[in-house]
Chains A and B, each alone.
Chain A
Amino acid sequence: MPLGLYLSVPFCRTKCTYCNFASDVFSKAVFQRYIDRVCQDIECCVATAEQMGGRLERAADSIYLGGGTPTVLEIEQLERLFVTISQNFEVSSTAEITVECAPGTLTDAVIETLRRCGVNRVSLGVQSFVDQEAASVGRLHNRTAVLNDITRLRAAGVTNINVDLIAGLPHQTAESWGSSLQQTIASGAPHVSVYMLEVDEDSRLGRELIAGGTRYHAHFVPDEDLTADMYLMACEQLEAAGVRQYEISNFARDGYESRHNLKYWTRQPYLGFGVDAHSMLVNAVGAVRFSTPDALEEYMAGKGLNQAAVDRQDALEETFFLGLRLSRGVDLDQVATDFGSGEVSSLAPVVDDLVKTGLLERRQEIIRLTSRGRLLSNEVFQRFLAVDRVGTGVLARPNRTPSV
């Protein structure tokens, strides 16, 4: 099975307040050392796969350059990454090759380089078509720049464009969100990703929200319920416009589903390079997952990989909590074929309960999240995890009130 290749570029011009990824602002000198290191890792992939105990395919049918903002790299650096990949893998001529881009940074030279490197899909971090909202979280572009980028990409032959949107940004209202959605649809982009603002300790805005402060416009962040409503609005309006939901956060016109991302959810092998890059390779006993350090310094210092073997139980759990992310759902017959009918029957009470509570729907042997279930997908996934794996008995009864 051909591989998906992921290249992480953790550099940005500015760090957005909601960002909880390892990306940050670094000097150009760091860029060069980083690219050297990533290329070195690509060249060593055979040894790495062997060390991790995974089977390495040389064929690859997707490449994803994510970030950060890969396009902050020098043209030579971008080219070097693609050249190194092509020297070490057999990239199919029909491969999906995606680069994440920040709107407003796509110079003609960059677009030309991308085309030359075979890039045929661009993911634009739009987040909002309302300038005040984009500016409030530190995005450097405006609505006009986004539309301009789309036009220029198309002119250069890149038609497979993804627009990233975030529901729950400061100052966002149902009305302004509706406007962002309509403009996204009007732009004709065949792929849309809709994320809800993640509030955690890993981003500045998240920390401020948790602390109840007012920096980063935190007090203008819509509440969780409104954000959930916005998400449902997106599902409805995109669907109505023919941009179908195929995964919890992803929508596409027919035939434009992201091949690379689908690999994650369908448990196909992929190999990641760079900081905080994750990989999964199959092997004789099942599969192995491994990842690089999530801090740049540690990665550059050569700290080792995290490795986790995927045993049968893991594989079964993954089948559910990754497979259910997809609108097509999970086929219990297939699970029975892969893992045995005993596993399916032992999960029957969980499935029945989730169907009864309206989080799952079942058609014959296919189970899928309902729209409420998508919003509460973590609650659903927990039910498919073996209790002893989660480290706390709380998960054994997620539907009850806390232990009072």
Chain B
Amino acid sequence: MDATFLRNFAIIAHIDHGKSTLADRLLELTGSLTAREMQAQVLDSMDLERERGITIKAHAVRMMCTAHDGQTYQLNLIDTPGHVDFSYEVSRSLASCEGALLVVDASQGVEAQTLANSYLAINHGLEIIPVINKIDLPSADIPRTKEMIEGAVGLDASDAVLISAKTGQGVPDVLEAIVKRIPPPKGDPEKRLQALIFDSWFDPYRGVIVLTRVFQGTLRKGQKIRLMWNGKVLDVETLGVQSPKPIEVDELKAGEVGFLIANIKNVADTKIGDTITEDANPAIEPLPGFEEIKPMVFAGLYTVDAHEHTQLREALEKLRLNDSSFFFEPESSVALGFGFRCGFLGLLHMEIIQERLEREFGLELITTAPGVRYKIYKTNGEMVEVDNPSRWLPQSEIARIEEPVILATILTHEEYVGGILALVEEKRGRQKTFEYVSSSRVMLHYELPLNEIVLDFYDRLKSVSRGYASLDYHLADYWESPMVKLDILVAGEPVDALSIIVHRDFAYERGKALVSKMRQLIPRQMFEVAIQASIGAKIIARETVHAIRKNVLAKCYGGDITRKVDIPQEAFLAVLKVGEDSS
């Protein structure tokens, strides 16, 4: 098809603002799926996605639509993951589009995440069409929503499309707006091939499936291609598009979006953002914007039942087949036995992996307190990156430490600003901007150490704002900070799994809280047990579990000499929960 009649677009929306419902309506309206074929919210296929109302993996769906001008257009909807942890993936999806629908709930207004993705889209030069959804709700406030779109995103909202994805009202106008307002893709099918990988996953029958947007040249079945960052050379076995059922095609020309199968075994080979070119006639340079995805949040995963260690390894390997952004390596702990140190893109990513391990693989897990990766500059001039407290260096070898810092965008109602400011200050935040985006909504930009976010920030933010604050963040900087390793000792022995890295100024407080909670959890023993928090050799907090005074069976009822033996309770699980609670 002539590229003039192509439109590639994404939908930007906050969780629950109606992205999936709108996508379903568009599919229905363009006849891509009949109502009978529709399973509600086709795009969210994983159980977890449906339950959480978020999209974890991106998809690309082709729809054909006849516009008012009588022409038939090919619309490619490129779905994007809806969460902050996947912002790089979002950026690659957006890079594959020329336009985006910004869907805003008329009763809720713009949220931080929508904002962040809108800025990303604006930076990529996308044409953004504001779509105000849920206008059928009694609480819908269209003028205020427009005011927020203009104030916060900086877009002209006067010609926003007003719809109810639920009832279908206004949805045809969305199609018309896509055709009229989003520019067709540029690119020349005759030029050297440059196609962007914006998603990939492992299919047990077909191997790795790659979603790609062709920018220049033409991708053909049977072609020998090269992945420019990865270096691998492959034969294109199958090309196709999702409509949303997969349909094979012989070629994908500049401007088009589709999937590719090339006998790839490992999803890690198809890095998102990599450029596909023709091996015989390669492009001079790859498409811009490629980044190696790096995990940002780290934690140890252990099975409650030590015998399930092998199952955990197998489960992690299976998950990794489909998620190259997550990393793991064996680790062992004196306290917890054998487990894995895992790296995640963020907290949600960690939660998802954990939940899938528990739900799909039936494993019961213990997770150590999440932490981040620090840059340690040693006195000998070397720099090492450390994310595991057990690999922390002795203080004497450390010249300085840098910790990752994020730029957080927080959107909230003005009445909660006081509580939120107190929270971000407590979390060592530095204010960058403070502005009213509408008469009652405030947008804050703060730099915050990631280490403080992975502690209890989300929950605290939710509680101080009664849920009326949304947060988005991305890695922004490194700060030099006096971080120290805080150890917990029970009866003089360090409990490795409870060690944490903490800012020096907070060490005393955190140490005190930890040992005091642990005192309540550790059952009394025959002898006095000291629970201490230390930094290096220096004890900064101490509590004592006094020796048990009595353990005696007074009476032998009717000659019952049954040996009632009290097995000391395994305190460990509970103790680690403390680690989580206060972390």
Contacts and interface: CB of A to CB of B under 8 A. Distances in A.
A293 interface: no
Nearest to A166: B554
Given A6-B558, A377-B551, A398-B526, A403 B572 contact: yes
Contacts of A402: 522-523, 525, 568-572
A248 B563 contact: no
Contact of A279 (B490, B527, B559): B559
Interface stretch (A50-58, A150-158, A178-186, A222-230): A222-230
Interface string A112-152: 00000000000000000000000000000000000000000
Interface string A330-369: 0000000000000000000000000001000000000000
B522 A379 contact: no
Given A280-B559, A378-B551, A401 B565 contact: no
Given A376-B551, A378-B564, A394-B568, A404 B490 contact: yes
Contact of A6 (B546, B559, B564): B559
B319 interface: no
B525 A401 contact: yes
B567 A249 contact: no
A46 interface: no
A398 B529 CA distance: 13
Given A392-B567, A401-B490, A403-B570, A376 B552 contact: yes
Interface string A187-206: 00000011110100000000
Interface residues of B, number: 37
A8 interface: yes
Contacts of B522: 401-402, 404
Contact of B550 (A194, A231, A263, A264): A231
A8 B229 CA distance: 84
Interface residues of A, number: 54
Contacts, number: 121
Interface string B507-541: 00000000000000011011101000000000000
Interface in B555-583: 555-561, 563-572, 575
A401 B558 CA distance: 35
B553 interface: yes
A404 B566 CA distance: 18
A376 B550 contact: yes
Given A270-B559, A395-B565, A402-B569, A196 B550 contact: yes
Contacts of B572: 402-404
A381 interface: yes
B491 interface: yes
A318 B563 CA distance: 9
B526 A228 contact: no
Interface string A372-389: 001111110110010000
B348 interface: no
A248 B554 contact: yes
A390 interface: yes
A225 B549 contact: yes
B476 interface: no
A291 B558 CA distance: 10
A278 interface: yes
Interface in A303-341: 318, 321-322
A323 to B, nearest CB: 12
Contact of B549 (A228, A357, A390, A394): A228
Contacts of A270: 559
Interface string A241-267: 000000011000000000001011100
Nearest to A225: B549
Interface in A263-282: 263-265, 270, 272, 276-280
B549 A272 contact: no
Contacts of A399: 525-527
A66 interface: yes
B554 A278 contact: no
A132 B529 CA distance: 37
A403 B564 CA distance: 21
Nearest to B560: A278
A26 interface: no
B559 A322 contact: no
A114 to B, nearest CB: 19
B553 A377 contact: yes
Contacts of B552: 196, 248, 374-378
A304 to B, nearest CB: 17
Interface in A14-59: 21
A33 to B, nearest CB: 20
B568 A398 contact: yes
Interface of A: 4, 6, 8, 21, 66, 193-196, 198, 224-225, 227-228, 231, 248-249, 261, 263-265, 270, 272, 276-280, 289, 291, 318, 321-322, 357, 374-379, 381-382, 385, 390, 392, 394-395, 398-404
20 contacts: A196-B552, A224-B550, A276-B557, A278-B559, A291-B560, A357-B526, A375-B550, A376-B548, A376-B550, A377-B552, A379-B526, A382-B565, A385-B565, A401-B493, A401-B522, A402-B522, A402-B571, A403-B570, A404-B335, A404-B493
The 6 closest A-B pairs by CB, nearest first: A228-B549, A195-B554, A278-B559, A375-B550, A378-B551, A228-B550
Given A8-B558, A248-B554, A378-B565, 14 more contacts: A4-B559, A66-B558, A196-B554, A198-B553, A228-B549, A249-B555, A272-B559, A276-B558, A280-B559, A291-B560, A357-B527, A376-B551, A401-B522, A402-B523
